[in-house]
Amino acid sequence: MSLRRAIPLLALVALPVAAVVACSADPYAPKALYPVVSDTIRVAALNGTPSEAESGVRLLTAQSIVPDFSEQFDFALDIDSTGSVILVPRSKVVTCTTICQLGVRLIPVDSVPFDSLFDVPPSGFTYDSVTTIPVGRIVTFVTKEVYCQPSNISTYDLYAKMIIDSVDVPGRAIYARVASDPNCGFRGVRPGEVPGH
């Protein structure tokens, strides 16, 4: 057989293999619809500030918010007597009347820069615990979000990441960056991108 005839035959053999690979993806699998949201936020300390101060964080929108009984926040931030940032889950601030669970996982120091962490780890979270968050340390979250976007109706899990940039102890303020995936069940936290998995 000549080389000229062998090449088209090889192409025909390779074609079914490519078709199998292309069809192996589940066409019914949930698809992300919305891009990752991110923002730089100022959060007032939970204690030592007015009751209407934005001491809470809503991960769905990556914004600071007043932590009131509307339960539209996932956690509050506080500053203790040593100037450390304390994360207080919603369940420790108000009595929850809806799904209320927050998982927190600190990322090891110097393992990855904040802007290069593109996916939240799938496990290793500590749930509903008051946690000290060092300045410059990345923290990842999984929270139960009742208003999750309907890209995956089988789960209420919403994933996000945050880093504390600085603390103004006299001003009782915390400055942080937050990135959140508004697609239920997706763990991508690359700002502006629609997660693919």
| Domain extent for 154 | 30-181
Q: Mean pLDDT across the stretch 131-150?
A: 88
Residue 191: inside a domain, yes or no? no
Query: Rounded to 5 degrees, what angle do the CA atoms 132, 141, 34 make?
Result: 145
Beta bridge partners of 37: 180
Pick the closest to residue 37 from 57, 9, 54, 22 (CA basis): 57
Residue 119: inside a domain, yes or no? yes
Q: Mean pLDDT across the stretch 172-190?
A: 94
Q: Tell me the pLDDT tens digit for each residue of 70-109.
A: 889 999 999 999 999 999 999 999 998 888 899 999 999 8
Confidence of residue 58 (pLDDT cuts 50, 70, 90): very high
Residue 128: inside a domain, yes or no? yes
pLDDT number for residue 197: 67
Q: Is 141 helix (H, G, I), strand (E, B) or coil?
A: strand
pLDDT number for residue 150: 53
Which tokens sit at 21? 């690979």
Residue 66: inside a domain, yes or no? yes
Question: Is pLDDT above 60 for 2?
Answer: no
Helix and strand counts by DSSP (H, E) for the chain: 1, 11
